[in-house]
């Protein structure tokens, strides 16, 4: 495996993936395989996949797995690793991501996240469950991170899946040029389009970017009618979970011919991964959203005639 973060991918035949999840049932209809791309232009404070953010391979350190053997210390030429009471610490300001420590760590206390894969490798993996897709109406979903942050790789993957007769979906923030999105829509059956907030200033506060391009693209995606559209909305306490906002959001979505809406309640399941990556958790202290609360917000949307599902 090549570990270098500088690996070039000019042709789009190779891309950076951090996970491929088989038998996925929440990323579109039927049984699916979800391919998680690494790299995202947004920085949502509630992100539960922090390993998806940076567009290069990284190390994740699980201190509890360390047996104190010291092999990583010996091999690290940057003196970036310290052992305290058989517990490993990496000074990431010294680390150059050479990944040598990953190779010598037998209990996998230090692991790599992010792997460069060929289009063919990914499609071969996805094709293993072709029969399940056919029987369940499922297929392949590209997610992330932001799958369209690696546009050529995503396009090649989608086109190859279509050539093989596999149904395709993308889960996108919509923060991408229309030129790319237009090409993608020609080889995508379903778009899972995320709406974080319809107010641009609030969107900026939650994600670090404004939403103008995202909402403009959404309108074009539904108008062009090349793919089915489902809307996904993360519901975050004190950000977009008030009844008044949900009413406004429902009115906004009602004007568009989208098939359905998924409300995804905030949870803290991704919190340990921030620690493994040596980062602070951005929403420390926020409580998860209860099932009852989520259901009551869903009821508001349903009362406006929208088809809504809830989940986490």
Tokens of 301: 């949307």
Looking at the Cβ atoms of 76 and 261, the one nearer to ligand SF4 is: 76
Looking at the Cβ atoms of 3 and 26, the one nearer to ligand SF4 is: 3
Instruction: Assess contact for 149 and 41: CB atoms under 8 A.
Output: yes
- Compute the Cα dihedral for 115, 117, 121, 127 and give only its sign: positive
Instruction: Assess contact for 253 and 261: CB atoms under 8 A.
Output: yes
Looking at the Cβ atoms of 35 and 97, the one nearer to ligand SF4 is: 97
Smallest gap from Cβ 93 to ligand SF4, in A, equals 11
Tokens of 282: 């951005």
Cite the beta strand spans of 62-175 per DSSP E.
Answer: 81-84, 87-90, 110-113, 115-118, 139-143, 168-172
Smallest gap from Cβ 103 to ligand SF4, in A, equals 9
Smallest gap from Cβ 182 to ligand SF4, in A, equals 40
Looking at the Cβ atoms of 108 and 177, the one nearer to ligand SF4 is: 108
Residues that bind ligand SF4 (CB under 6 A): 59, 66-72, 75-76, 78, 80-81, 83, 88, 90, 95-101, 104-105, 107, 109-110
Smallest gap from Cβ 280 to ligand SF4, in A, equals 20
Looking at the Cβ atoms of 26 and 65, the one nearer to ligand SF4 is: 65
CB contact burial 21-56 (16+ within 10 A = b; e otherwise)? eeebeebbbebbbbbbbbbbbbebebbbbbbbbbbe
Smallest gap from Cβ 271 to ligand SF4, in A, equals 21
């Amino acid at each position: 495996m090549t570990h270098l973060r500088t690996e070039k991918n000019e042709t789009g035949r190779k891309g950076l993936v951090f996970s491929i999840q088989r038998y996925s049932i929440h990323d579109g209809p039927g049984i699916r395989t979800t391919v998680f791309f690494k790299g995202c232009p947004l920085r949502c404070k509630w992100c539960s996949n922090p390993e998806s953010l940076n567009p290069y391979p990284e190390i994740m350190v699980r201190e509890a797995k360390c047996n104190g053997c010291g092999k990583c210390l010996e091999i690290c030429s940057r003196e970036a690793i310290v052992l305290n009471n058989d517990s490993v610490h990496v000074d990431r300001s010294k680390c150059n991501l050479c990944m040598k420590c990953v190779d010598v760590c037998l209990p996998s206390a230090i692991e790599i996240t992010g792997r460069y894969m060929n289009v063919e490798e990914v499609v071969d993996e996805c094709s293993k469950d072709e029969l399940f897709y056919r029987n369940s109406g499922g297929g392949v979903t590209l997610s992330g991170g932001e799958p369209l942050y690696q546009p050529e790789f995503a396009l090649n993957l989608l086109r190859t899946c279509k050539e093989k007769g596999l149904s395709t979906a993308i889960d996108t923030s919509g923060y991408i040029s229309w030129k790319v999105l237009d090409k993608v829509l020609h080889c995508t059956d379903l778009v899972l389009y995320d709406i974080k907030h319809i107010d641009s200033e609030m969107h900026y506060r939650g994600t670090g970017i404004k939403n103008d391009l995202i909402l403009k693209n959404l309108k074009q995606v539904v108008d062009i009618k090349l793919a089915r559209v489902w809307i996904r909305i993360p519901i975050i306490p004190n950000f977009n979970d008030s009844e008044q906002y949900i009413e406004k959001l429902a009115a906004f979505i009602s004007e568009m011919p989208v098939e359905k809406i998924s409300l995804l309640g905030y949870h803290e399941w991704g919190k340990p991964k921030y620690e493994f990556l040596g980062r602070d958790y951005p929403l420390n202290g926020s409580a998860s959203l209860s099932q009852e609360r989520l259901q009551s917000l869903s009821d508001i949307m349903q009362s406006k005639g929208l088809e809504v599902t809830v989940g986490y």
